[in-house]
Amino acid sequence: MKTAFTSAACVTPRETIRDAVVLVEDGLITSVDTRNAIEIPPGTRIVDYGDSVLAPGFVDMHIHGGGGHDVMEGTPDALCAIETHLAAHGTTSYFATTVTASVDDTLRSLEKLADRIEANGSHLHSHRSPDQEFRACPLGIHTEGPFISPKKRGVHPPEHIKDASVELFDRMWQASRGHVKIMTIAPEIAGAEDLIREASRRGVCVSMGHSNACLRAAELGIDAGARHVTHTFNAMRAMDRREPGILGAVLTDDRLTAEIIADGVHVAPEMIRLFLKAKGVERAVLVTDAISATGMPDGQYQLGSFTVDVKNSTCLSGGRLAGSVLTLDRAVRNIMKFADWPLDKALRLATLNPARTVGACTRKGVIASGADADIVVLTPKGELIKTIIAGN
């Protein structure tokens, strides 16, 4: 069926089109332009959203769970609950993010996540048909650990942290059947440069994080192939005037994209403004780092193998921050508030930028001819009205 979605504006997000029409057929966008420039074919179903804003569905590169479940459970019921929760908040694509655990538990989770990705036909470069279930698509897997610094481990269990190992990474790669698309690694740990090179060779987006690296070690990681940064400011060496550390590279090197958790808990609004000035609208990425507690009442929840206490939107384990209960629709509104950014700029950080970082921006994170018809309908203030997945 052909459908025309119309609205006062469409943020593509490369441009903002006023008085917009988005034509969709068989789950794909066929064209987008102004009403004056597009002739709607006879028999097309027209859905008008009035004064609302159309934008691409959100893409979350770093998420551990939601709706009471953790991605490492790996069961169809658990992942369905997470994906349904995500869709209710405008996230249409995500990368299931593991935490440091025993090797056996990690491999088991990777196998189950690969099953889910392949069963849905929703991996990085595939197209999901409009008759599939209404929920977010897993595009791949993000491994956060075990190749991290014990000094900046956050809540990751120290007994399971490993030196960088191409052999262990290959076991993880095989278990995931090649669906590991993002890997967080501390560039200063033993073996890191070799592993970064190998993962990059396999097309993995290597992200530096949970790191106590000095500036030189971070630069060597970038030279080896690292091109992204995990939750900037959190779980990394603090800046010093003479040794700026990994943050010196994050904030000054245009080869790096960088993610931030804009929940007002992990990073102060003033630091978010600094981050945005440094990375700009093209290299900043919004993530949630959300855990199973997201969308649930305060209480105790699981993150991988350990328990997290959640109260007043703060997640703690052993007195340390342990993920968030943030959703990307709220993160977009927070950027508008914290940085006084307009909606169109804030949206780019949750759509085009993450999709481009993982090499999926021809299909995801954009409203353009040939892209998947994953669309959010928003108020001009960024409040979510509706989520459209594969044109439905």
Given the residues 60, 70, 289, 329, the one annotated as active site: 289
Give the strand pairing for 16-25 and 28-34: antiparallel
Place of tokens 């159309």: 54
Q: Could you confirm whether 289 is annotated as catalytic?
A: yes
Percent of the chain that is helix, strand, coil (3-state, to 5): 30, 30, 40
Beta strands in 288-391 (DSSP E): 299-303, 306-311, 314-317, 320-321, 375-378, 384-388
CA dihedral 345, 372, 359, 207 (to 10 degrees): 60
Q: How far, in Å, CA of 74 to CA of 175, rounded?
A: 13
Closest CA to 231 of 182, 281, 193: 182
Closest CA to 271 of 241, 232, 236: 232
- Structure tokens, 165: 């190992």
DSSP 89: T
> How many residues in total does the chain contain?
392
- Structure tokens, 192: 């890191």
Q: How far, in Å, CA of 320 to CA of 315, rounded?
A: 8
- Structure tokens, 155: 């809540």
Helix axes 192-201, 166-176, angle to 10 degrees: 30
- Structure tokens, 338: 């914290």
CA dihedral 126, 13, 141, 82 (to 10 degrees): -100
Q: How far, in Å, CA of 112 to CA of 283, rounded?
A: 32
Active site residues: 289
